[in-house]
Amino acid sequence: MLDVRRLRLLRELAHRGTIAAVADALSFSPSAVSQQLSILEREAGVALLERSGRRVELTQSGRDLVVHAESVLEVLERAAADLAGARDGLAGPLRIGTFPSAARMLAAGLAVLARDHPRLEPMVDQIDPAEVAGALRGSELDVALVHDYDFVPPEPTPGLDGEPLLEECLHLAAPSDWRGADADDAIARWRDAPWITAPPGMLCHRMAVRACQSAGFAPRIRHHIDDFAAVLGFVAMEQGVAIVPQLAAVDPPPGVALTELPMHRRTRISYRRGADRHPAVSAFMRAMRSVVS
C-alpha cells in the first residue's frame, strides 16, 4: 500500500525540483525526505527517481505516479471538505494569502465574513502570486487571491483550482507636468522616460517590461519598488512613469496623471483542488464576490 504522506513528498519534488526545496517547504531535513522517498520506491516496486550526483529527477514511472497522487490528494481534500460540512457552524482558522494591492478589497470581504461567521478566524499573509501554488499545496494556506496580466497569463498549476473574482484595467501613471514624445500609443510616448517597476522576477515587473516591448522599446528602469502606493509617490516626485492597476489607482497623490490602458489585470481565488466544497473556503468566496459585485 502506498503511503499518502510519501506521495505528497513525491508530488512536491515534481513541482519544486530539488529535495532541498521540498525539505525547506515542508519543514523536513533533506535526509528525511530522501529516506521517505526511498521507502516509497520500495513500496512501489519500481524506480521512481534517477540520481546523478547531487541531482535527482523523476523517472517516467515517477511522473506517472505523481499524476495519480494528484488525484488521490484531490479525493482526500474533498473528503475533508465533506467532513467539515457536517460540523455545526464554521469555526477556527482560515489561512488566506493575498497580494498588497488587494488589501482594501480583502478587508471588505473579511468584514462580511466576520458578520456571517463570527467564529471563523481569518489569518492573512501577504505573498507574491508566484509563491502561492507551493504554499497552497504545502497547506500553509487554505485559499489565496492571485492575479495575472494580459502580458503574463497564468501558468498551469497541477493540484490547484480557482475561480475568477475581478477584472480591472491598468493605467499609465506619469507626472502631471511631464510631456511625453508624440505617439498614438499611451505607453510608447514614454519610451525615453525613466520607469518604475516591481523588482525583477515578480509578475508586475514582467508585465511592465512586456507591455513596453509590445510598444517597441525596452524600458529604462530607474527604480524597483514592490508597493504601488510608493510607486505613485515616486511618480508624484517626478522620478519616473509606471503602470498601475485600477485597485492601486483609486486615490492617486497630487501631481500624478493617469491614462487608462487597453490592458487588464485579473484577480482569481485559488485553492487546492477539491477544497471548493469546504464550507470555510466557500464562505470566503461568497464574501469576496459580494464586495466586488
Note the pLDDT tens digit of each residue in 173-231.
999 999 877 777 899 999 999 999 999 988 899 999 999 999 999 999 999 999 999 99
Phi-psi region of 17 (alpha: psi -120 to 50; beta: other; left: phi over 0): left
Q: pLDDT tens digits for 59-71?
A: 898 888 888 888 8
Q: What is the grid cell recorded at 237?
A: 516626485
**Percent of the chain residues past pLDDT 90, beyond the cut:** 52
The per-residue pLDDT of the chain, averaged, comes to: 89
DSSP H/E element including 114: helix 103-116
Q: What is the DSSP letter of 199?
A: P
Q: Grid cell 482594501 — which residue? A: 104
Q: Which amino acid is at 104?
A: R
Distance between CA 197 and CA 59 in Å, rounded?
A: 40
* Dihedral (CA of 150, 155, 156, 162) sign: negative
What pLDDT sits at residue 75? 84
**Percent of the chain residues past pLDDT 70, beyond the cut:** 98
Is 220 within 8 Å of 246 (Cβ atoms)? no
Q: How confident is the model at residue 41 (pLDDT cuts 50, 70, 90)?
A: confident
* Dihedral (CA of 186, 192, 196, 197) sign: positive
Q: 256-272 and 143-149 as β-strands: parallel, antiparallel, unpaired?
A: antiparallel
SS3 98: strand
Q: What is the DSSP letter of 178?
A: -
Does the pTM surpass 0.85? The reply is no
Q: What is the grid cell recorded at 117?
A: 461567521
